[in-house]
Structure 1
Amino acid sequence: MTSFSGYLPYAFALIIAIPFLVLLRQFVHNYINLKNQEIKLLTVKSNSENKTQSYERMTLFLERMKPSNLIQRFDKDLAAHEFIFLTEKTINEEFEYNSSQQLYITKNSWKNIVDSKNAVLDLLHKTYEGLSGNANLDEFKTIFIMNYMENEDYISATIEDLRREILIIA
């Protein structure tokens, strides 16, 4: 009996410590799970914010590309070919700047954005090719807007598609 009585204080301490260790383990496990859930929620929120910002940026890009907005840019003393060059350069630079937004936008919407950009650039060149050599910039701008208005308003259609998509995401 004497050999067992020497271990009695250790056995008593072990019996008291086991429930505390189990509770501590449960607490740590629950804490880690809650932190993982918090990280997942923050990731989802951040991704949603990125998508929203992408749709906003591309909508702004499309608005700037509307012919009614394009004709207001640059000096009125430019020749038509200079206006076309500067407009095309500006559109391409802004498009390249925003090209990373395709990561957050659906493939179909991105294709519509690219198609809209290319259609505006094509319209610029076709309008210039259709002019007589002595047309001034004001005449070019007027014919450019008229040519755009004769066709489908593809920029507004693309913006409307983006609007519908962002409502689904949000």
Structure 2
Amino acid sequence: MNTVWIILASILPVAIVGFAMYKMISKFLENENMRREIEVRKVSNSQIMPQRLASYERMALFLERIKPTGLARRYTPQSSAKNYESILIQAIQAEWEHNLSQQIYVNPETWKLIYSAKNATQNFIRQCASDLGEDATAEQLQEYIITKSISENSPSNAALLKLQVDIQGNL
């Protein structure tokens, strides 16, 4: 029986020291992994953040460019309202396709809002053309788009606000 106590008395301190060492090494390795992850994030953020900011700037510019008032003023009315409607919708689509790659850097919820704003703007232009009818001229459509868009809230405004919120949250 004395031998069992002697063996236990010898093994117990070794086990306690071994367990304490294991915990210390484990905690050290855990802290080291966290430190490495933080460093990787820092490097990643320092490289990605400028691209992300540029992407948000481009999307803000896109949303400003597709606002009906500015869009109608930028393109001179030509021939019929139907032709002018087509020109404006093609302009929006061209802007969209030019900026499509920016979705990589933009928050997915914000991207959905931007996409919805694009579609809503195209639908707004179609509705304006429909309100005027087939016999309308391009000048009449331009004037109607400007007048109606001044009195209504632009579809781009909600998406622009979301872009601003995203940027403020990341700075």
Q: Deviations over 1:20-74 (max 9, x none)?
A: xxxxxxxxxxxxxxxx987753421111111101100000000000111111223
1:157 aligns with 2:158: yes
Where does 1:134-145 land on structure 2 (aligned, <5 Å)?
Answer: 134-145=135-146
Q: How many corresponding residue pairs?
A: 137
1:73 corresponds to which residue? Answer: 74
1:101 corresponds to which residue? Answer: 102
State the identity as a percent. 27
TM-score of the superposition, structure 2-length normalised? 0.70
Measured in 1, the distance between the counterparts of 2:110 and 2:79 equals: 34
Distance 1:153 1:136, change over 3 A: same
1:64 corresponds to which residue? Answer: 65
Measured in 2, the distance between the counterparts of 1:106 and 1:115 equals: 14
SS at structure 2 position matched to 1:72: helix
Q: RMSD value over aligned CA atoms?
A: 2.4
1:167 corresponds to which residue? Answer: 168
Equivalent position amino acid for 2:101 in 1: S
1:13 corresponds to which residue? Answer: none
1:52 corresponds to which residue? Answer: 53
Conservation of the 8 A alpha-carbon contact between 2:125 and 2:145 = yes
1:125 corresponds to which residue? Answer: 126
2:20 corresponds to which residue? Answer: none
Equivalent position amino acid for 1:165 in 2: D
Measured in 1, the distance between the counterparts of 2:50 and 2:133 equals: 49
Equivalent position amino acid for 1:84 in 2: E
Measured in 2, the distance between the counterparts of 1:39 and 1:169 equals: 18
| Deviation of 1:100 (Å) | 1.2
Residue ranges of structure 2 left out of the alignment (5+ in a row): 1-36
| Deviation of 1:152 (Å) | 3.4
Distance 1:78 1:150, change over 3 A: same
SS at structure 1 position matched to 2:73: coil
TM-score of the superposition, structure 1-length normalised? 0.70
1:90 corresponds to which residue? Answer: 91
Q: Deviations over 1:113-157 (max 9, x none)?
A: 000000011111111111133222222122223333444333122
Q: Deviations over 1:85-134 (max 9, x none)?
A: 12111211211121111111111110110000000111111111111332
Q: Which runs of 4+ in 1 moved over 6 A?
A: 36-39
Measured in 2, the distance between the counterparts of 1:133 and 1:53 equals: 42
Distance 1:152 1:73, change over 3 A: closer
Residue ranges of structure 1 left out of the alignment (5+ in a row): 1-35
Distance 1:78 1:46, change over 3 A: farther
